[in-house]
Structure 1
């Protein structure tokens, strides 16, 4: 096979006019997203606030995720501070890079036209427009998946060991972003079964050198897990197993429908049509190769969704190849208007999100049962302000939370205050990073503490503190028609060793 990627114009994937235009368009989209973050009124969601806390303490692993998300936030904070917009700023930048890599891959396989529209289609996909306004591990995973796919395509075309190095870096950093990067190795093996050039890559030492490099990069995280009771792996397994078997075809249908919404109905439809057509005589082998990096991920999670509860983003890594194969099929089959229609949907979705995030505290949909659709990202800064004021009035030098969500919000929103934030666990084993590093059992108060509880019974508090003062209820608005309710207690004069115990509801002691 001729190595298109090593000779001629293809050696410089950004050397033609379409690439220049794409870079300008993607840069404009990225700049608009960064500006939108500046004017968004939303707070960090629970996971984002938790990741920010991780970023303040360098480690090779954390309770529920590998460390790259925390390292990324730490780097962003060093550049522009700790505000909400800065914490989220890496997301649009990584999507800029992911889209460029999709262009490079599409150009190497099918030429600049398909690469251009695939990159633009991905950048403006409804799910990407939404994801670019938050920072999640999927943002990093998609970038390194796209990087790895591009390196694999170069190896498939006969590239040398420098592409093995790039592939190894992509796999390694992808695993440090999210363990779902392991799907990539399985997808490559499936590609080898159905695509002879991919089979040659797998049979060569170039691919396995890349895998070895990737595992070497992951090694410090493996060691961290071994030294910390394999907490991340156990948590990941608990997420996958969920609440046990709950067989439901409806869950699977809902999951598949969500994939159409995330990448766009036309690109997903094009990818499925390509899967049906891939086995016809004369279809390019590149189609089968790309399908191997898309459909297995979606299929595995779809099957899992029949058996247990899954999240729509669990198949996110398959969407890079989906954008490529969907765009390629639609353009080559003369359905370019569907590509344009997909872009129009994405542009509308992006504009709606820009406006919605800027007025989120005024948005409610009265026809929905839970009409405050921004509830998960509103009210947390208000909670921090109210707790700060009450802690000062109570003379408390420590704030105690009961849940991961409240702890994350308080740690972030009280980041510039001297008051310490701890968590009172309700069972012996740690359930999150806060219970590992901020447990009240390990940081007993030496003076007055303020308990922020969704519920608590004073009698149970009196078992541990000689002075329990009810400071009343606190309601924090989380939208025009919703709020979170808390009960505050001032705790002082410990009279018994602190222990993990439910502070309301059933007590197993």
Structure 2
């Protein structure tokens, strides 16, 4: 009976592992490059021991991928996919060694299906090698608690070195592991062994490149990771960090893991390794949950507890045995569903048709989208400009993504708050890629208006004017109904020392006050809003339905928007409002998209973002 159960779970693991590997390969080959991945690629093209945002390993792995497989997203991600495929096997090995073969295969399946670990490798990010480092250290310490020998110490040293080369956050993993050992009598004895300290010394040496980089650069990386990005004051948003965990782990598994952590702190009758896994995972996740009320809330951080969850997964099957058959089945079904949903999200981001479903939703995967169409537009613009024209990006996101698409790792980038908030300014400055736009040759300025909040957009445009002079009429690249928009502007040469003295001309700004987004209308719709263009003003506002022009709005109505846009220099203020009565009787019921085409007095034409409109009869 035991052998049959073991064989059955082994078959399930092998089928799921092969299925996961195939699906992740397929999705990774189609999924556009995430902005952080693009910057890691750029770092990999400038090989160095360490960088402003991270130690060196992630960049080195991206370089390895493209060197072996060429300039393709799948090649870049292949080393990370391979690491992601290895990690469940380590979980199997650990659980099988200490809790039996059946528990081992079950733990491996938990690791495969938990959305947070089951999607590892789809993106070329530092959490992948850091997760490998965590399981190597877990495996090594569990064996060292039983027997201290050279091979176990070498494995620990290897895990510590990989972690040190992966991310600053691995310091927390080390700290939590040491606390867990100090809570165990056997762990305290282990920490007195010289072979363990030799392994720890190797791990320390692996931090030296990062420490050296910070010493040479005024501790820019340390200040960003430990100080600048975190408020270090209590905020209630930490509650959302806790609430999202059951979603990315799945509710029943999340409850099981937290139960393992709780009982691990209370039970003294568990075997040594079970207590070690439970304590390490429990302390790690509890500390991260507590820090969630004091640390960064602007950037994604829901994945931070992963190393702790991996430790708890190893001990989870032993506790799962005490659940009823019904609850165990519910756990496996919910895990499978969560895994499918997680992979489905990435599949959706890979499909132009599927992602339009989320075009006006907060879950729209903006940082993945639009880079190939943008690169095509850039190539077309460069072909029409003088030889030697340079690209000037509005932020590191645009610069690194365009760099990957065009095979150019040295695209200049303008100063931007995004560069600072993501810890990339210091690195760009070291590459001499940060500038104010002055150039002896023509430039193609490429910006993404969504890189700043809408209320700050006019100020950003005016800042660009101070650097490069009046902004020429842009070419708009609009993706997914304008959910992702890029503006391309041809800049004449502006040598250093020449201060722009012309009046500032900016791209247009607009807003539809009614109907509201996702509004339901009948055969007629009253459209009202405002639009202006600093420096020259607008000639007309054209209404679009499903991307096609349908009528000119009555433009020039009084609209007192300067209370919000006090710095605007449109000469037509306050006559910048528009309205129109839109006849929708010829359109079929259902979802349609309402947009604007803004015609400037300087001859520019800009398409504004569209909003969803539902026609019902």
* TM-score calculated relative to the size of structure 1: 0.84
Q: 8 Å contact 2:465–2:471 — kept in the other structure?
A: no
- Contact 1:152/1:163 (<8 A) preserved: yes
Q: Deviations over 1:420-469 (max 9, x none)?
A: 5101226999725223314354996342122224468888667666xx57
Residue 333 of structure 1 deviates from its aligned partner by 4.7
Question: Of the candidates 235, 250, 255, which is equivalent to residue 247 of structure 1?
Answer: 235
The structure with the greater share of residues assigned to strand is 2
User: Is the 1:424–1:440 contact (alpha carbons within 8 Å) kept by the matching residues of 2?
Assistant: yes
- How do residues 78-227 of structure 1 correspond to structure 2 at under 5 angstroms? 78-227=67-216
Please name the residue that 1:60 is paired with. 49
Q: Cα distance, 1:206 vs. partner?
A: 2.8
**Secondary structure class of the residue paired with 1:203:** coil
Say if 2:53 and 2:221, in contact at 8 Å, map to a contact too: yes
SS at match of 1:135: coil
The whole-number CA distance in structure 2 between the counterparts of 1:506 and 1:227 is 43
- 1:124·1:350 contact (CA, 8 Å) conserved in 2? no
In structure 2, do the counterparts of structure 1 residues 458 and 257 end up closer, same or farther at CA, with 3 Å as the change threshold?
closer
Give the number of aligned pairs: 481
Contact kept in structure 2, 1:131 and 1:139, CA below 8 Å: yes
Counterpart of 1:405 in structure 2 is: 397
* Higher RCO (C-alpha under 8 Å, 6+ residues apart): 1
Residues in 1 aligned to 2:229 and 2:394: alpha-carbon distance in whole angstroms: 25
Pick aligned residue for 1:445 from 439, 449, 457: 439
> Alignment partner of 1:188: what SS?
helix
Give yes or no for contact 1:145–1:317 (8 Å, CA) kept in 2: yes
Q: Which structure shows the higher helix fraction?
A: 1
Change (3 A) 1:462 1:16: closer
Output the CA distance in 2 between the equivalents of 1:164 and 1:62. 29
Counterpart in the other structure of 2:606: none
Larger radius of gyration: 2
C-alpha change, 1:479 and 1:117, in structure 2 (3 Å) is farther
Q: Distance in 2 between matches of 1:323 and 1:498?
A: 61
Asked if 2 retains the 8 angstrom alpha-carbon contact of 1:291 and 1:325, the reply is yes
Distance in 2 (CA, whole Å) between partners of 1:384 and 1:320 is 39
The 1-side partners of 2:305 and 2:426 are apart by 24
CA drift at 1:205: 2.0
- In the alignment, is residue 256 of structure 1 matched against residue 242 of structure 2? yes
CA distance in structure 1 between the partners assigned to 2:101 and 2:352 by the alignment: 39
Q: CA deviation at 1:160?
A: 0.5
Q: Is 2:384 aligned against 1:393? A: yes
- For residues 201-234 of structure 1, give each alpha carbon's deviation from its aligned partner in whole angstroms, at most 9, with x where no partner exists: 2222232221101111222332233223322212
Match of residue 3 from structure 1: none
Tell me the CA shift for residue 301 of structure 1. 2.1
User: How far did 1:495 drift?
Assistant: 5.0
CA distance in 1 between counterparts of 2:272 and 2:17 reads 29
Closer, same or farther: CA 209–19 of 1 in aligned 2, 3 Å: farther
State the TM-score, normalizing by the size of structure 2. 0.70
Shift of 1:374: 2.4
The answer for unaligned runs of 5 or more in structure 2 is 1-5, 450-456, 507-564, 568-617
